[in-house]
Amino acid sequence: MKQTILITGAGSGLGRGLGLCLAREGHAIIATDLNRERAEETAAQIAAAGGEAKAGALDVTSEADVRLFWDKLAESPVSVLINNAGLQHVARVEEFPVEQWDLLLGVMIRGPFLMIRAALPGMRARGFGRIVNIGSIHSHVASPFKSAYVSAKHALIGFSKTVALETAGADITCNTVCPAYVRTPLVDAQIRDQALQRGISEDEVIGRIMLDPMPKKTFITIEEIAAAAEYLISPLARNVTGQTLTIDGGWTAQ
């Protein structure tokens, strides 16, 4: 079943990868990013691979920007929303800049709230909708030096469950996919930052901090996350809502 899928933070990394993977499954992609050029690059890559995609600049923290963007989508009804936009800042709590705290929670909690609030009227009117929020292993566990990120990702699960309950009377679902580390530019930056904070090498960060807690000892792939999303957005997943699908190599089984 072909869907029109809006992905936030689709200008690079996981968001771009999800767009490419889901387009290969026949879905139409609306790639959004704070950086218009990066969103357009993603759409161009999808088109070059034979897929269907549009691009747009979007600041998910801005109520006015979100409202204007959704108003422009009237001719392209969105059946699936993937809230993926995210960023990281690594610092001790006592050294954590307030403006960075506000930015991280703005992008990863206020953003999904504004996007879902804007998406739901259309989904209800059409009688179908799928919302996939991209959480993290840090939706379940904590790591030092990531207070804002951990707080935002924990909160995202609670918000997703609330949306699931509020939409239970329609064929609309809201779920959270929580992967462990995926080797993206965001994670590469974390490797450097954590090496500095902990006083260890980047290889030690990868081995001891990122992969050692995972019994399977391997990074999660974008394709694995896309496969989870593909199931969650399908008609067969109509009774899967308010759930957290964790892809962590066994991390939280311990």
- Alpha carbon 133 to its chain centroid, in Å, reads 5
Give residue 196's Cα distance to chain centre: 26
State pLDDT tens for residues 36-45: 999 999 999 9
Which residues lie across from 176 on neighbouring strands? 133, 244
Res. 65: pLDDT tops 90: yes
Q: What is the pLDDT of residue 144?
A: 93
Residue 186: pLDDT over 80: no
Domain formed by 4-180+221-247, architecture: 3-Layer(aba) Sandwich (3.40)
pTM of the model: 0.94
Catalytic residue among 149, 181, 219, 251: 149
Band (216; pLDDT cuts 50, 70, 90): very high
CA 233, distance to chain mean position in Å, is 14
- The per-residue pLDDT of the chain, averaged, comes to 95
Cα 128 to Cα 5: distance, rounded to the nearest angstrom: 13
φ, ψ dihedrals at 180, nearest 5°: -75, -160
pLDDT at 79 over 90: yes
| Contact between 70 and 118 (Cβ < 8 Å) | yes
Residue 10 clears pLDDT 80, i.e. is over it: yes
Looking at residues 87-115, what average pLDDT do you find? 97
Question: What pLDDT does 195 receive?
Answer: 85
Each domain of the chain, given as residue ranges in start order, spans 4-180+221-247, 181-219
Is residue 149 annotated as a catalytic residue, yes or no? yes
The answer, yes or no, to whether residue 75 has pLDDT greater than 80, is no
Q: What is the pLDDT of residues 13-29, one digit of tens each?
A: 999 999 999 999 999 99
